[in-house]
Structures are given as C-alpha cells and as structure tokens.
A and B are shown apart, each in its own frame.
Chain A
Amino acid sequence: MYSEKVMDHFQNPRNVGEIENASGVGTVGNAKCGDIMRIYFDIDDNQVIQDVKFKTFGCGAAVATSSMATELVKGKTIYEALEVTNKAVMDALDGLPPVKVHCSLLAEEAIHAALWDYAEKNGIVIEGLEKPKSDIGEHEEEEEY
C-alpha cells in the first residue's frame, strides 16, 4: 500500500519530539477524523529554522508526511518553508495512496500554523501566509471515558 520511503519515515520518523519554548507551534487536524499533527519550530534571529520537531496522532501516512515535512523545512528560512507544499512532501515520499493525500495537506497546514504562531509571537507579518484553517491545539477539551 505504501512506498518504501513512506514505510521508512513511518518506521524511523525523523525529528519526533517537542521543543521547549518553541518560536512557533502549530497544531492542525481533528481527532474526530483520526489525524492530528503538531509541529514545533526553533527559529533564529535571521528567520532560519534551526530546529524542528513534530508529534502526530494518525495513520502511517500521517506520521510519514509529518516526518518528511520536518526534513524539508529544517535549516530553511521561514519564506523557504512557506514554499514547501503538500505536493513537495508527497513527491519526496514517492507518492501516497489517493485516500491518504489529505495527510500531506495536513503537513503543509501544520507548517503554516507553526509559522503563523511564530509571526504572531513576534508581531510580524509573513507575506503570503494566510491564517491556518484549523488550529485546535489545546483549546479542545480532553474527552474522558
């Protein structure tokens, strides 16, 4: 079902974790649909992404696209990161099954959400960056059972 690259990134995901006092954090997706991605950026004074970490709740493709997205933006400037599209993530993974394309969209959105958070924290405007569609983050209440 998945390409070798997807399986590799699922089995050995790059940059899993959290960043304390991150410059920007973006959480996208919806637990109801079974996918949540959170990306952390550590961005230096030159607007270069020095470090990036992610956490993902989701299927194999969701984990792999998160992992690949972090690789693609690491060491890039925020404007270069903004250029990383879902198609770029998919291509880098040698494609995804059609039902999993939304996972790559989620990865793109997660990058944008983290950049948006960074821009807001620093009171700057990143040209070309639109407010992310969904950032559920910690606003959503924990469901108990």
Chain B
Amino acid sequence: MDKFIYLDHAATTATRPEVVEAMLPYFTDKFGNPSSVYGFSNQSKEAIADARKIIGESLNTDPANIYFTAGGSESDNWALKETARTYANKGKHIITTKIEHHAILHTCEFLEKEGYEVTYVGVDENGIVKMDELKNAIRPDTILISVMFANNEIGSIQPIKEIGAIAKEKGILFHTDAVQAYGQIPIDVEEMNIDMLSASGHKLNGPKGVGFLYIRKGIKIRNLVHGGGQERARRAGTENVPGIVGLGKAVEIAVNTMKEREAYEMELRDYLIERVMAEIPYTRLNGHRTKRLPNNANFSFQFIEGESLLIMLDMAGICGSSGSACTSGSLDPSHVLLAIGLPHEIAHGSLRLTLGHENTKEDIDYVIDNLKRIVERLRNMSPLYEDFIRASKR
C-alpha cells in the first residue's frame, strides 16, 4: 500500500525541513556550551536568546518569562507540583477539569496523595468547561486553577480569557496547558491573564523533546531542576541548544503562517465533518461545532469499536487515533468522551482525525470513501447493529 495519509497531527507532526536545517549546525559546528566564556560559545547563547525572543513575542510577553523544558508534560508537572509546594502555606486546593491531558490529571492525583485537594470541574456536552461549576469550586484556600487551552481529543477551545479574569479577581494563579492550541490559534497571556502556560515543540512542526513553560514575572514557584544557572537557575542542565533553536524556528513559522493555515485547515475540517455527518448514518460529532481547533474532527460511529476501525484505516494507508479502551490498554474508553456524557459503547467507537497543512481535499475524499466502506463492513459484523436493525424492524 503506497498511500499514506497522516491525520494524527494532534499526536505529533513532522519537523519542517527549514526547522531541521536551522538545527543542524548546532549539533556539529556550533556545538559550544552556552555557559562557556569563550567567543565560540556565544553563538549558542545567542541562538537560545533568539528563540526565547520569538516565543516571548508570540505570547505577548517578555522573553525572560519563557523557560525551556523537555516538553509539555514536564512543563505541566513543573507548573502544578511546584505551585502546590510553593503556596502550600496559603492553601492546598487546586481546581482543574475532567478533560485535561494525563500530564495534568496524573500530576493532580499525585498531589492528592501528597495531601492536596483537587476539584475536577465538569464540561458540557460540547466539551466546554462549565463556568458556574468552576466559579462555585473556588474556596479561600484555592491556590491554582489549571484549565487546558484546547482539548487534545475533541478540540474544544475553553473560555480561557474568562477564566483568567476570574482567577485574577480572586487572586488565584492560573495555568493553562496549551500544548494543542499553541501555534494553532492566537494566545495573548496579558489579555487572557494567564500566569503560566505549557507548550511543546513537536505539535507545531518542531522537534520532539523540547517545550517551554511561561511563568509570569513575579511568580515565585520553586525551581524544577537544581544545578547550574541555566534558565535562570530554575531549570538547570546544559540547554538542548539544537532543540531550542528548532522550537524557535517552528514557532516563527507557525506564527507567520497561522492565519492562512487556520483558514485552510478549517475549510478542510468542515468539509470532512459535513461529508461524514451527511454520508455515514448513526454518527455523532464530538466536541463543539465551531469552538474547536481548526484541525480537529472527532466522531463516534455507533455499533463499532475504535481499534478495529483504526487497523482497517491503517490498511488503507490512513493514520488516525481513537478514544477506544483497546487503544489505551485499559477497559475504560477515553475520560474526555465519558466527561461529555457519551455512553461507554459509543465512546468505544470514536475516531479522531487531526489535519495538517500538507493535507489536501483529495486526501479527505479518499479518507471518506474508505471510512464509509470500513464503517459499513464493521457494522455488518456487529451484534449491536444486528440488534438495532431487528429492533427497528419490529
């Protein structure tokens, strides 16, 4: 099978050739340690400063507030654990949502074992956080609110500005996991009152193994890694210079192409959603129809199971992902799909397709043709479908 259509950009993306090109000299020629004194190392130091500047500007903040990490999960861990430890005297209550990435949820579970209390706010049927529930969860001992910018499975974009305003009014720190949103949609940490923000390089056509945490000036959360003076001693360790350079380049391109990519991917996404909903019966669109990431489509096909669907799509050269239990190694389907109120068996039959700038309308047509064929085939094999057809004949 020569066909290869990659529709899993929320999982990871290809590093752009321009990004790789920008990185390469920092492996071989410009390998100096940024902390060294001699002139040779200055170019490494400058390259990091340049990347930091690009990223600071992309968020409308001082570059000094950007701290490079090894990726989104590390940034999330840092923001949550060290905020909790630093502000434990003020309170031990944290508010987050039921649809966060596991980098947040599992860190919260860890903190619960350490004696912190966490409130997991619910979402509506479209996957948008319930604001009244969030407001009611605030207590005098609440020290942190952490809400993802956009959901990784169903793409729902959260009312971040509104939450930022509430957090500011109540004097509570506000962190957002923007791993899926950063580089896809505009983010202004000043306008949105964001105190901390996590992002990752490989979701925006940058390299894997690099990301950052933005920390608003004046927030004294504890250092993540103790050691040398790198990242102003908050995250010690010799910098991943090629990775940081690659991240900077990827962000630069992402910012410069955001408008056109957004328009292009939204058009493709809407075409995909409209055709699937019109041509495949007993299908549900998961997530908000419009308040969703430009590249995200997530469907539930009733009566079939996601892993079977993924394997058959793979055989047709199509890469997607599913919230089915079988793809997670547990018996429970995606916590996000359960949080929006889907019954288990419908959550098992979910498919996430996330687009990239290199996808074409022809790709989407090919995917839809195959999807129709595969869903029909799996339904004809499904006892749930058999029961449904029998019941409807009665």
Contacts and interface: CB of A to CB of B under 8 A. Distances in A.
Contact of A59 (B308, B315, B346): B308
A75 interface: no
Contact of A34 (B303, B315, B326): B326
B308 A55 contact: no
A142 to B, nearest CB: 6
Contacts of B387: 138, 142
A145 B282 CA distance: 9
A82 to B, nearest CB: 22
Interface in A1-57: 10-11, 13, 16, 18, 27, 31-38, 55-57
A145 B350 CA distance: 14
Contacts of A34: 305, 324-326, 331, 333, 344-345, 348
B388 A142 contact: yes
Contacts of B384: 31, 36, 57
Task: Tell me whether chain A's interface is mostly helix, strand or loop, or mixed.
Answer: mixed
Q: How large is the interface on B (under 10, 10 to 19, 20 to 34, 35 or more residues)?
A: 20 to 34
Contacts, number: 78
A13 to B, nearest CB: 7
B335 to A, nearest CB: 14
Q: How large is the interface on A (under 10, 10 to 19, 20 to 34, 35 or more residues)?
A: 20 to 34
Interface in B316-353: 324-326, 329, 331, 333, 342-346, 348
Contacts of A33: 325, 331, 344
B388 A32 contact: no
Contacts of B94: none
B304 interface: yes
Contacts of A27: 383
A114 B138 CA distance: 55
A10 B311 contact: yes
Nearest to A11: B315
* Shortest beta-carbon contacts, A-B, top 10: A31-B345, A59-B307, A59-B326, A32-B344, A38-B383, A34-B348, A55-B383, A143-B343, A57-B382, A33-B331
Interface of B: 284, 302-305, 307-308, 311, 315, 324-326, 329, 331, 333, 342-346, 348, 380-388, 391
20 contacts: A10-B308, A31-B348, A32-B344, A33-B325, A34-B331, A34-B333, A36-B383, A38-B383, A55-B381, A56-B383, A57-B303, A57-B305, A57-B384, A58-B308, A59-B305, A59-B324, A60-B307, A99-B329, A142-B387, A143-B346
Given A32-B345, A59-B324, 14 more contacts: A31-B384, A32-B331, A34-B348, A36-B382, A36-B384, A38-B386, A55-B381, A55-B383, A55-B386, A57-B381, A60-B308, A143-B343, A145-B284, A145-B343
